[in-house]
Amino acid sequence: MKLVFAGTPEVAVPALDALIASGRHEVAAVVTRPDAPAGRGRRLVASPVAQRAEEAGIEVLRPAKPRDPEFLERLRQIAPDCCPVVAYGALLPRVALDIPAHGWVNLHFSLLPAWRGAAPVQHAIMAGDEITGASTFLIEEGLDSGPVYGTVTEEIRPTDTSGDLLTRLAFAGSGLLAATMDGIEDGTVKAVPQPGDGITLAPKITVEDARVDWATPALRVDRVVRGCTPAPGAWTIFRGERLKLIQVQPVPERTDLAPGALLVGKNSVHVGTGSYAVELLWVQAQGKKPMRAADWARGARIGDGETVGA
């Protein structure tokens, strides 16, 4: 088939690579978000998908909005059979959805209908799910509600951050997306409507969502930190400034600390929660680089009775 691939961030690159490498289909063009300011100089930088496409000599389309007439006209000229999508980042209007004969097929990083929305991996970790996966589905105008072509499953490991899990799903999902394209072409896969029950939503995680509530149990604190790493980054307040929490570890045997209370040892920093304590392993103070929590505590000279989160 002739394909137009839509995607923007690094997590979409493995799927693009898989489609290029398959040799079975032609990736005629790539649709991605416009170049965005990045770095200290705020210089305009192409998206990871755009960079990879340019390396491969593939045409790159960067519409400000996917309903722009010039973009829609170019898409009609290319006349793709199907448009595979991974984390493109913009809503597709009906007029665009109707152009390819086999529609737009999205690779979504959850087992639909669970965790429809922008942040399925983060929500799965924060909810304590043990299994997640990826799904390919036909895009409709509803939010991730279209019929599903196929799925792959992935175990959520006890120490997984959303970054760890998303990386594994990106590679597992790339094979699923390529196989879905093959199946659509030869008629061996059929999109099956999603069940009406089991629907959960995964809206974008806000900075406020990533603030740790020390009155919640230690397992919840751990899940919030892992689910919000690397973005937007879990955090708390210490001495009136934001302290980023990069890695913590529940300590079930330590039950003598009130929520938010700090206990600094020679090489450890513990914080009380609503159940038992957690140990801070890696943190980042405002304006500083990430560091081991024990080094941060020595530099901060934390006194008796100090707390986080107040």
Q: Which residues are annotated as a binding site for (6S)-5,6,7,8-tetrahydrofolate?
A: 110-113
Contact 47/33 with Cβ under 8 angstroms?
yes
Angstrom distance (rounded) from CA 239 to CA 256: 22
Selection from 127, 140, 170 nearest residue 152 by Cα: 170
Angstrom distance (rounded) from CA 97 to CA 31: 13
Strand partners, 271: 262, 278
Selection from 310, 300, 292, 301 nearest residue 248 by Cα: 292
- Output the CA angle 84-90-94, nearest 5 degrees: 70
Q: Two tokens at 156? A: 């959520």
Angstrom distance (rounded) from CA 19 to CA 6: 12
Q: Which residues carry a binding-site annotation?
A: 110-113
Which residues, at least 6 apart from 260, have a Cβ–Cβ distance to it below 8 Å? 214, 215, 271, 272, 307, 308, 309, 310
Angstrom distance (rounded) from CA 169 to CA 153: 9
* DSSP 8-state assignment for residue 10: G
